[in-house]
Amino acid sequence: MTDAIDFARKFLESLHRFDLSTLLSVCSIAIWRVEDEWTSDGKWYGDDDLPPDAAVVVAPAPVDAALKALPPADRKRVAEAISAGYQSNSTFDDIRVETIRNATVEGGVAMLAELIIHRDMMIAVATGGGVRIQDVNDYYIAREARLREALPVDAKYENPHDDLWAWYHYWSEHFGRWAERRHYINQLFGPAVTAMAKRSTLPSPQRDATGWERVDRTLSKARSQFELASAEEDYQAIGLLCREVIISLAQAVFDPGIHKTIDGVEASKTDANRMLEAYIAHVFPGESYKEVRAHHRASLALALNLQHRRTATRQLAALCVEASASTVAVVSIIARPD
């Protein structure tokens, strides 16, 4: 499955469809047959005389809605990518979108999905897409507010239409043909969609949850904020979140009744260094202790440096998030040796 999604995304990127590739980055893909469950390895099962049913994308919200809103040509392109991902000779003209229940993505991918939903809603109401303004205008207004608040400055989102009725009056006055309205909206959204689709992301995917709720939640928040960060103070805020990740990690594993600090000084509730040193020395003694201790000390120092660095950069923020995630993974391995 991992190889298939990677191949599918590379196919789209070879066509410079970075928007579609970014949407698939948080999805699973599969090929279903008429009477079979989807195959995780891309092989057909059952009666070979049955035609393939669909190229399937399994997506969290709001990416699922964005995929469903895509115009037919884009849906076909995703279907072709799925076929390429599985190196299948079968061809598909459309995709079947399945929603992952109770799953939602945030950050840059979510903003890209929101832009696509917004764009295609504006096109649908203006080109006979079977959508009435009165049925969707409230959703449009709420989404417009989210986009204006959350999109980074460099995304260059400049939509002048506060609601769909304003858009209706504008197109009625300026554009008599559907093609003109569609072109206008695509031009309006083009810079922001391109910016979010090409926005640099963290070098490695998010790791599996550790089960330490606050650790997982804060680390996920740091990743999401990184995807939208565009200024020095944004990156500094990521440093603060990474510091909180390491403090929460220390609190999750440290027991003052069992783990004695190295220097005998009582660890405060925010003294991540002393807590982690005491924990690691107790459960992971030996020569490797010094190297493991150096690992968590370095990631905490990086977080503190980023938090207070007025010239913080995107690169330093990326290093900080990855260092913190790595420290969480190392301590999780120690805590769960089996």
pLDDT at 303: 93
pLDDT at 204: 60
pLDDT at 34: 53
Residue 192 near residue 156, CB atoms below 8 Å:
yes
Residue 141 near residue 163, CB atoms below 8 Å:
yes
> Which positions ≥6 away from 222 have C-beta within 8 Å?
238, 241, 242, 245, 321, 324
H or E element at residue 286: none
pLDDT at 29: 93
pLDDT at 40: 44
Angle between the N-to-C axes of helices 107-126 and 213-228, in degrees from 0 to 180, rounded to the nearest 10: 60
* pTM (whole model) above 0.85: no
Q: Going residue by residue through the chain (338 aa), what tens digit of pLDDT does each one get?
A: 568 999 999 999 999 999 999 999 889 999 886 554 444 444 444 444 444 578 999 999 999 999 999 999 999 999 999 999 998 888 889 999 999 988 888 888 999 999 999 999 999 999 998 899 999 999 999 999 999 988 888 788 999 999 999 999 999 999 999 999 999 999 999 999 998 998 756 656 667 788 899 999 999 899 888 888 888 999 999 999 999 999 999 999 999 999 999 888 999 999 999 999 999 888 877 766 777 888 888 999 999 999 999 999 988 999 999 999 999 999 998 887 65
Smallest CA-to-CA distance from 305 within 220, 236, 246 is with 236
* CB-CB neighbours of 239 under 10 Å: 24
